[in-house]
Every structure is written in structure tokens, then in C-alpha cells.
Amino acid sequence: MPRIDRYILSQFTALFGFFALVLIAVYWLNRSVVLFEQLIADGQTALVVLEFTALTLPLVISLVLPVAGFAASAYGTNRLAGESELVVMQAAGMSPWRMARPVLVFGVMVGIMVGVLVHGLVPMARARLADRQAEVAQNVVSRFLRSGSFQFPTKGLTLFIGDVAADGTLHDVLIEDGRDPARTTLYTAEEALIAKSDTGPKLVMVKGLTQQAQKGADGNTRLAITRFADLTYDIGGLIGSGRRAAGGDLRDYSTPRLLNPDDALLASARATPAEARLQAHVRLAQPLLAPVAALLGFAVLLIGGYSRFGVGPQMLLAVGALVGLQFLATSGEAMAARDPAMAWPAVYLAPLLGGAVVAAALWLAGRPRGPRRGAPAQGAPA
């Protein structure tokens, strides 16, 4: 690689490290505050909070890196222009296309980092986070299963457990559900067990009775009594601690499995083959945004040439182009989600149109800027 390319690449890489660190810290702190409030409210320790926030970090980084690449490219180009280095390069005969070569290398480097995250670390972290959330939900539910006292997990709900055996069996269980003003349901059971499921812990009651009092249209209250051998009650969702298990979301799986989904994957995620492949295409398109964003920050700032007043208008135009790129990416995913089988190419709309904008900006920056045809040159007689 020529020395001038290494110089530009080193400038952009140093700036990229700074902007990535700042943006990741801000974004991660914002998400961590929400997790901190939820987990501390559930009685979890600081180590659990730290683990959960660490598992969200790969996703945060994958979202921030393209923006950090754009910021480094735009700021670095502005610095090169302010110190007249771009003017020297152009005077030496370097075209905008030639100067964009190290920027493309920089963008590809950022894209590779994003690809490693979205295809490897993010699915692994999401799956692990789902498992830990299920374990935490189980612990939260266990805090409410105390024997010999009436408990009120949420408004309108009463829970009583006569005794908890050493093997975890609950005896003499009573649940009164009065959350619906028009209907009150009373569950009683001799025994009950807590069972795990994909949607959170369930309470399986054995040898019990259901009594439901409901107001009719005439204003009278009717009582319906039903005996059951076993009945499942969603106590996880009831307490508000239910969490999905790993595999319940397409984003938990690796890209090769999404491209060739099997029956187990589709059943666990409750998705169709087209939806699974669409998620894989979304991942394949995401790293492509990084080099396009980096080139946008460089190419748009070259439009207009050198000015002692700086590149403020071009900077605003570059930011607008980045916002438009993100809007196209979001719109493309929404369009593809409506018809995953036929509209999946829409997820590649943002990188393709963004690349076209970059090419147009470099072409405009490379146009000759001599005097207009028919206008006298400076110093020449009219």
C-alpha cells in the first residue's frame, strides 16, 4: 500500500477508535440503565446486572460501528481539507476516485468487524442472554412461593401456599384472580409443581377446583364450578417475570442455519422458512452499510472543492445522506417483512442506493472546475 494511503488510513483508524468508544459508551449506558432498573427491582445482584449488560454489548457495537465509521471518515476528511492536505493531493494529480481507495479499505475493515459481530457474537450473546433471563425469571417466581402467608404479586391477585415440600412440591395452593372486574376466578389445588417452558415458568396444579363468579347481562352473578385433575397456570407472566427461552427468536440462530432452516428451528421460533432466510439476508446486508457509510462521509465532503470557509454545507449534506441511508435500511427491512418470500431483496436496497450516491458524489467532485466556456480567463483581455 502506498505511503499516502497508509497515512489516510491511519488518520481515519485513530478517529474511528475514538468515535466508536464514545458512541458505544453512550449507547451502552442508555441500555444499561433500563436493565439496571429492571434487575434491581427483581432483587438481583450487581454481578447479574453486569453480566446482562455485557451480553448486550455485541449488539450495541454492531449498531454503532457503521455510524462511528461515518463520523471518522467525515471528521478526518474535514481535517484534511482544513489543513489543505486534500488540495495538495489533488494538485499532485490524485483524482477523487484515487483518494477514495484508502477510505474504501477503511470501510471494508469496519464492515468485517460488523460481519464478525452479526454472524457470530450477537447470536451467541442473544441465546445466552435468553437462557439467563429464564433462570432469573425462575428465581423471581421462587421468591413469591413462600408457605403459610397470603401474597399479592400484582394488583387483583392473591396467592396462598400451605406448605412447600423438600422436593419442591407445593401443597394446598390457592389463587384468586380478580384482575377482571366482571369476573373473579378462584383456583384451589391439593398439590402443584413449577414447570419451565419457552414462555416462562408455569404452575401445574393437581386435583383441584375452579370457581368462577361472573356478572351476566341481567346484572346477576353466576357461579361456575369445575373440578380438574390437572391445570396449568402461567405464573411467570402473572408476576411479570416471564422470559423467552433461547431459540424462541430467529435472531438467536447462526446464519447458516437460517439459510437452511430445519423443522426444529422453525417449530422453536414459530417462523416460516421464508422468514428465517429473510433474517439471514438482513445479517448479510448489515455489514455492507459500513463501507458505504464511510465513503459517504468522504465523498460528499469533496463536492464543492476547496473553500476557506470550510465544508460546513457539505458536512450537513453528508449527515443527511447518512440519515437517508438508515431510513432506506429500515424501510427495506419493513418492506421485506411484509412478503419475506418475494421481497427479501429489499434489504439490499440501502447499500445499493448508498453506493450509487457515493459514485455520483465522487463524479461530481472530479469534474473540471475551470472557467466557464465563453468567459475570459483571469488576467486575459476581454
pLDDT in tens, the chain (382 residues): 788 888 889 999 999 999 999 988 888 887 777 777 666 655 566 777 778 888 888 988 998 999 999 999 999 888 887 777 887 887 888 888 888 899 999 999 999 999 999 998 998 888 888 777 767 666 655 556 667 778 777 777 888 888 888 777 888 888 888 888 788 889 999 888 877 766 667 788 998 999 988 877 777 888 888 999 988 887 765 554 444 555 567 888 888 888 888 888 888 888 888 988 999 999 999 999 999 999 998 988 888 655 555 566 778 888 898 999 989 999 998 999 888 888 899 999 999 999 999 999 888 887 765 555 554 554 444 4
The grid coordinates listed for 144 are 413469591
For residues 213 and 256, what is the distance between their CA atoms, to the nearest angstrom? 53
For residues 109 and 147, what is the distance between their CA atoms, to the nearest angstrom? 59
The grid coordinates listed for 166 are 423438600
For the stretch 247-254, contacts whose Cβ atoms lie closer than 8 Å and that sit 24 or more positions apart, written own/partner, are: 247/127, 247/130, 247/198, 248/130, 248/198, 248/199, 249/126, 249/130, 250/275, 250/276, 250/279, 251/122, 251/123, 251/126, 251/279, 252/123, 252/126, 252/127, 252/130, 253/123, 254/119, 254/120, 254/123
Q: How far is CA 158 from CA 145, 146, 178, in A?
A: 12, 13, 8
- Whether the CB-CB separation of 144 and 153 falls below 8 Å is answered with yes
Residue 382, judged by CB atoms within 10 A of its CB (0-12, 13-18, 19+), counts as exposed
Closest CA to 350 of 297, 299, 287, 300: 287
**How many Cα atoms occupy the beta-carbon half-sphere of 95 within 13 Å?**
10
pTM confidence score: 0.69
